[in-house]
Amino acid sequence: MNIKLFMLDEVPQSFDSLQIEREVADYWERNDIMQRSFKMNEGKTRFSFVEGPPTANGPPHIGHAETRAMKDLFLRYKTMKGFYINPRIAGWDCHGLPVEIEVEKRLGIKNKAEIEKMGLSKFNALCKESVFEYVKIWEKASKRLGFWVDYDKAYVTMKDEYIESVWWALKELYKKGLLFKDFRISPYCPRCGTTLSAHEVSQGYKEVDDVSIYVKFKIEGKDEYFVVWTTTPWTLPANEYLAVNPNFNYILVDYRGEKLWIVEERAKAVLKKYEVLETRKGSQLVGTRYEQLIPYLRVNTGLYVVAGDFVTKEDGSGIVHAAPAFGADDYVVLKRENGELYITVDDTGKISLDSPWKGMDVQAASEKIIEYLRESRQLLKTENTSHTYPFCWRCGTRLIFYPVESWYIGVSKAKDKIVEYNKRVNWKPEHIRDGRFGNFLEEGKDWALSRNRFWGTPLPVWTCKNNHVFVPGSKKELIENSTSIPPYFELHRPMVDEIKVRCKECGKEMVREPYPIDTWFDSGSAFFAQFHYPFENAELFRENNPVDFITEAIDQTRGWFYSLHVISSLVFDRNAYKNVVVMEFVLNSKGEKMSKSRGDQVDPLVIMDRIGTDSLRLFFFQGPPWKTKRFSEEVALEFSRKLLGTIYNSYLLFSTNARLDKWLPREEKVVSDLDKWMLDRTNECVSSVTKYMNEYDPHLAIDSIKDLVMDLSQWYLRLSRDTFWGGEITDEKRSSYFVTYTALTSIVKMLAPFAPYFSDYLYMKMTGEESVHLSSFPEPAGYDASVIEEMNLVKELVEAGRRIRQKNGLILRRPVKEIVVTDYRYADIVKKFGYLIQKELNTKDIVIGNVNSYLKYSYSLNRKATGKIFGKDLNEAAREFESEERQNEFKESGHTTVMGKKITENEVERKEVLDERYVSDDIANNSILIYKEFDKSLYLEGLAREMIRRIQSMRKDANLNYTDRIYLHVEGDEALMEAFSSFREYILASTQAEESSKVNGSRKKWDISGLELEVSLEKITA
């Protein structure tokens, strides 16, 4: 063991975490500790990490603090384990709707038209400024949190070098036939004016209450109607087809004098009472023509029944209305039937059809259309329906499905390998792999890549009028193929839109497709684009991929985790990452999601100012990361005070005594069983923490550290106090100092990734070294499990003894005469550690005994067995049996005679009764017995201990150090003074006191079990 000879540094009496944080932060800054830690393992085995770039569109909240603390935890741990992490850089996601919407709010802009009016160049410049403004706020909060990454070398998704790498990846996809243009009915935000990808849509689902309606479509030439159900009445003016499932049974019913067609299984739920007139298969209804429901649209195709396997009978009527412009299944029907596409809504989500509802928002139009249908007697009924519906993940607007031409990534073409590569990833928790994440991958939906927006990575696609396509994979390739290049340009709109290319196939001019791409493709490219790969750093990229570790919150299974995985699978034919820790959300104290509108969002900087960074970090590591946490300042502060405060006070006690003895840290011979146990217990903890951290279970690691701290403080140090306070420096004291030093240094090293400020402060005080973050993590050493198990039995026995004392009103400060252990499992433990057990349970003696020696037995008639024998005389017989004569006779011979009847063991119940001088409890079940009677000597000793407790309390109130000696004077009732006289030396030694008749310091009166005591004490200054 390599220990530096160093006089332990003293610390203040009181633990002040905020002052510690200020001192350590200043020290780190002055000594460049962060950068030095980055370089300390250069040339050693690599560990790779990539920062999930936050979108810099607003200040960070408490959930962001949690993810950054989790990242930093494992980066610090791996660094202390000797791994080289390079790059270890921040990252900023700068593009897309999140940034645009933030700028729109500032400018009071409500739609795309207003942006186009002010000018794209000006708007995008404001987006760039907004990003840089919030980046500074993020850096401040992240640095305060102790998130150690290089902010000066951060990757920035809006830089040309980054965009160029993204362009390269898109060209690779194009070469593989996975980047293509298509016209589809897509999820669309009318407020933002753009389509969204499937993974974006999945992030915005909400539970909503809507009015659903059943309407009647009249069959052409007949007095019969199709019953159709819809939750989107605004689509009815665009109806072109009705769809039935060809395999379902449909019935014609007489309902209140009208003839209605409906699927058989739904008739009762919808209509209640009716008469069945006819039954047909859905296939028999196909081709049936019907009259237009709302005659404002001139329809040239359709208005007949078609077959559709997508029609279900779980809800509705089993007959689906198809408006092909507003539904993906409906559009498939249109193409199959060679129909015309009718679009009755504009790109802002307002009705464009010449009708009473023109210019109305689709939701408002729905209400008016329902009124129209009611007045025209085409409305059968309405229902309130609760269902999930997608909203824009950024602005919160209800989405619609809308016909848009977009560029797609062909995820569906490569679904199988995307799913397969996911099986190589270690997910924490494991169920995410095949559950939430795996199930989403199985859907294999194509990625809607292009956006009808402004601020983002430009789609690198140029097309000519003959539909030829040019996809540059770099800035250089674009320049080499362009016909005109601005003197200065960057890869953003509008500059990049001005660049024209001559088509190599037909010679026509090519212009850029006017779209930016989904910002999730930007962030999902971070694992290679941060290197400007493949244009430089190719070797560095290969050394760091697949990435060893990433972590973000659960919502990123539909966001960054997804985009990373899909891009890597399609471009590189492998998984992007090896290990991923998925975190649940931090909720408010009531278990609700925090929100700005409710005013309960928490600013991490404010919290850190109040309770300290280490307290906040430690809160995040309590419980599994993948379980929700209810944030509470009080809970966070209490946990850190209990853990860090206990470590601090343990060091204070240890260092105070070691400094008095001028003991310097060195390896000493371990002489006692207690010392050997503490070393083994420390090594066991190091082994457990290493295992848990390697398996990405930080909550189990911090629990193990906390348990070790409690064992050190509440067990080992308490039992070692007499050794510490001994006057001379003995082998026992040296051994105890060495063991305590070893345990404490191991604890602060293991704690360093969790609580970096406190750990570094105490580590430097203990070792004189520069920083715990420039040191190594403790290495697991061998330990004797049997030694640990022995002490567990000792603690188990002590806990049982304390419990029995408490339940029976035997105050622990008052000694008892004897404790008897009757469970022979403890026999060897009592022989080996009896002195510890005696001390902890405050007993004069502890012995192993046979329980039968402490039990008495009483006998009574078994009333069930003897009821038939004695009948109505049973009570009289019972009294006779309980007489002393009959009891003695039964005990001696096992039988007796009662009222002339012979009574044997079969008619008797035996009950154990503990000797009245001893007590136990139901849990111990007489395996531990405590003698409860006190003689005068024990009584006086108990009073002496009560007096010591009061004197120590007054020392604490006077802010005295452990080593400060005092003058002491006591007066009180006769019994107390007799106790003081009998145990004078014990009381004075325990309180660092000298008796004096003249004391001018603190004075206080106490009540001890009805006896009055007055204590005066004063610090000795000479």
In this prediction, residue 716 carries a pLDDT of 96
Give the mean model confidence (pLDDT) for residues 647-675. Answer: 94
To the nearest 10 degrees (0 to 180), the angle between helices 633-640 and 613-620 is 100
Give the mean model confidence (pLDDT) for residues 252-272. Answer: 95
Residue given tokens 């009166």 in the structure block = 1005
Give percent above pLDDT 70 in the chain.
99
In this prediction, residue 857 carries a pLDDT of 83
Torsion of CA 711, 712, 713, 717, to 10 degrees: 120
DSSP three-state, residue 406: strand
What is the spatial distance between Cα 814 and Cα 428, in angstroms, rounded to a whole number?
A: 51
Condensed to tens digits (0 to 9), the pLDDT of residues 319-337 reads: 999 999 999 999 999 999 9
Q: If pLDDT is split at 50, 70 and 90, which confidence band does 597 have?
A: low
Condensed to tens digits (0 to 9), the pLDDT of residues 434-467 reads: 999 999 999 999 999 999 899 999 999 999 999 9
Indicate if the alpha-carbon torsion angle 25, 29, 33, 34 is positive or negative. Answer: positive
CATH of 619-775, one of 1.10.730.10, 3.30.365.10, 3.40.1350.10, 3.40.50.2300: 1.10.730.10
Structure tokens at 778: 């403790």
DSSP three-state, residue 349: coil
Condensed to tens digits (0 to 9), the pLDDT of residues 965-1001 reads: 999 999 999 999 999 999 999 999 999 999 998 898 8
**What residues are labeled active site?**
53, 93, 520, 556, 560, 593, 596
Condensed to tens digits (0 to 9), the pLDDT of residues 133-190 reads: 888 889 999 999 999 999 999 999 999 999 999 999 999 999 999 999 999 888 998 8
- Is-contact 48 548, C-beta < 8 A? yes
> Per-residue pLDDT for 963 more than 90?
no
In this prediction, residue 817 carries a pLDDT of 94
Give percent above pLDDT 90 in the chain.
81
Condensed to tens digits (0 to 9), the pLDDT of residues 736-766 reads: 999 999 999 999 999 999 999 999 999 999 9
What is the spatial distance between Cα 81 and Cα 779, in angstroms, rounded to a whole number?
A: 9
Give the mean model confidence (pLDDT) for residues 799-828. Answer: 93
Contacts of 509 (CB under 8 A, 6+ apart): 464, 483, 500, 501, 502, 503
Condensed to tens digits (0 to 9), the pLDDT of residues 760-769 reads: 999 999 999 9
Least confident of 504-508, 680-684, 702-706: 504-508
Give the mean model confidence (pLDDT) for residues 610-635. Answer: 95
> Per-residue pLDDT for 396 more than 90?
no
DSSP 554: G
Condensed to tens digits (0 to 9), the pLDDT of residues 204-242 reads: 888 888 899 999 999 999 999 999 999 999 999 999 999
Sheet holding 547-553, edge to edge: 426-428, 577-583, 547-553
Residue given tokens 């509008």 in the structure block = 494
In this prediction, residue 150 carries a pLDDT of 97
Distance between start and end Cα atoms, the chain? 42
What is the spatial distance between Cα 500 and Cα 1009, in angstroms, rounded to a whole number?
A: 96
What is the spatial distance between Cα 528 and Cα 521, in angstroms, rounded to a whole number?
A: 12
Q: How far is CA 811 from CA 6, 808, 937, 968, 1009, in A?
A: 43, 9, 16, 25, 11
> Per-residue pLDDT for 934 more than 60?
yes
What is the spatial distance between Cα 208 and Cα 617, in angstroms, rounded to a whole number?
A: 36
Condensed to tens digits (0 to 9), the pLDDT of residues 41-100 reads: 999 999 999 999 998 777 899 999 999 999 999 999 999 999 999 999 999 999 998 899
- Is-contact 975 993, C-beta < 8 A? no
Phi, psi of 243 (to 5 degrees): -115, 140
Give the mean model confidence (pLDDT) for residues 106-135. Answer: 90
Give the mean model confidence (pLDDT) for residues 649-662. Answer: 93
In this prediction, residue 728 carries a pLDDT of 84
In this prediction, residue 199 carries a pLDDT of 77
434-472 burial, b for 16+ CB within 10 Å, e for fewer? Answer: eebbbebbeebbbbbbbbbbbbbbbbbbbbbeeeebbbb
DSSP three-state, residue 290: strand
DSSP three-state, residue 550: strand
In this prediction, residue 388 carries a pLDDT of 87
pLDDT: which is higher, 132 or 530: 530
> Per-residue pLDDT for 540 more than 80?
yes
DSSP 516: B
DSSP E strands in 482-572: the ranges are 482-484, 500-502, 509-512, 547-553
Structure tokens at 542: 């290969």
Give the mean model confidence (pLDDT) for residues 893-898. Answer: 90
In this prediction, residue 677 carries a pLDDT of 97
In this prediction, residue 365 carries a pLDDT of 95
Domain 210-385 matches domain 619-775 at the CATH topology level: no
Measured CA angle at 65 (ends 585, 747), to 5 deg: 105
In this prediction, residue 722 carries a pLDDT of 82
Phi, psi of 920 (to 5 degrees): -145, -160
- Is-contact 132 491, C-beta < 8 A? no
What is the pLDDT of the chain when averaged over all its residues?
93
Q: Which residues pair with 634 in a beta bridge?
A: none
Domain boundaries of the chain, sorted by first residue:
210-385, 619-775, 784-932, 936-1019
Alpha-carbon 633 to chain mean position: 17
In this prediction, residue 385 carries a pLDDT of 84
To the nearest 10 degrees (0 to 180), the angle between helices 633-640 and 604-611 is 40
Q: If pLDDT is split at 50, 70 and 90, which confidence band does 596 have?
A: low
What is the spatial distance between Cα 206 and Cα 386, in angstroms, rounded to a whole number?
A: 10
What is the spatial distance between Cα 101 and Cα 112, in angstroms, rounded to a whole number?
A: 11
Alpha-carbon 154 to chain mean position: 26
In this prediction, residue 598 carries a pLDDT of 66
DSSP three-state, residue 486: coil
To the nearest 10 degrees (0 to 180), the angle between helices 673-694 and 698-711 is 170
Q: Which amino acid makes up residue 440?
A: F
Give the mean model confidence (pLDDT) for residues 912-941. Answer: 91
DSSP 997: S
Q: CATH for 210-385? A: 3.90.740.10
The full DSSP string for 45-57 is -B--B---PPB-S
Q: Are strands 846-848 and 819-821 parallel, antiparallel or unpaired?
A: parallel
